[in-house]
Structure 1
């Protein structure tokens, strides 16, 4: 059975995973809103920041997986499931928003062409 100190470390790892994932997701949606306002440089910066946050979360996940593969078995609890779900949905959001940003740029260009006619 794990002692209290081990549980604190485990919770800290899980909350870091959730925090990095959540920060990444927030930045992704901020980037999309910037593109809607035709603030392309800002959107690119936000997407880069989001990628950094997601990479931090992914690195935490990778260390957990490597530990598991090395025989360091952890008790799976609802908090860990939530953290994994958070990361998965953030990565999915990143992939979808990248495509949506491309589409929004085309929409913006078409709108501007129509305004200038």
Structure 2
């Protein structure tokens, strides 16, 4: 795989990982306010970004399995870190939102 292509994939993984992490954190903020519908909408957006980043990662892994390995770079390590962090934050955010649902009433418009 060309270096430029790997760099582009890494940047897209970073962007999508960052988006997913931000959406997950926003889900917590909405849950804290009692707006669980918006929290779930944020989780749906986070899921899309994680899926996109994971698909990009899989493309690299498949290429490597086919003998098309690329040089390991700090940028790719950073991209992998972003994806793993996004997935961890998303998992923890879901647990936190569940806890808020136990202690806060559902937000309803009057």
Same fold at TM > 0.5: yes
CA distance in 1, matches of 2:5, 2:70: 12
Greater RCO structure (CA 8 Å; 6+ sep): 2
The answer to which structure has the higher helix fraction is 1
Task: Confirm or deny that 1:7 pairs with 2:3.
Answer: yes
CA distance in 1, matches of 2:57, 2:6: 12
* Runs of 4+, deviation exceeding 3 Å: none
Match of 1:57 in 2: 53
With normalisation by structure 2, the TM-score equals 0.90
Which blocks of at least 5 consecutive residues in structure 2 are unaligned? 106-110
**C-alpha displacement of 1:91:** 0.5
Which blocks of at least 5 consecutive residues in structure 1 are unaligned? 110-117
Given that 2:3 and 2:70 are in contact with CA atoms closer than 8 Å, whether structure 1 keeps it comes out as no
Task: Confirm or deny that 1:74 pairs with 2:70.
Answer: yes
- Matching of residues 1-117 of structure 1 within 5 Å: 6-109=2-105
SS of the counterpart of 2:104? helix
CA distance in 1, matches of 2:78, 2:103: 36
Point out the structure with max Rg over C-alpha: 1
Given that 2:9 and 2:56 are in contact with CA atoms closer than 8 Å, whether structure 1 keeps it comes out as yes
With normalisation by structure 1, the TM-score equals 0.85
CA distance in 2, matches of 1:35, 1:91: 19
CA distance in 1, matches of 2:76, 2:88: 18
Aligned residues: 105
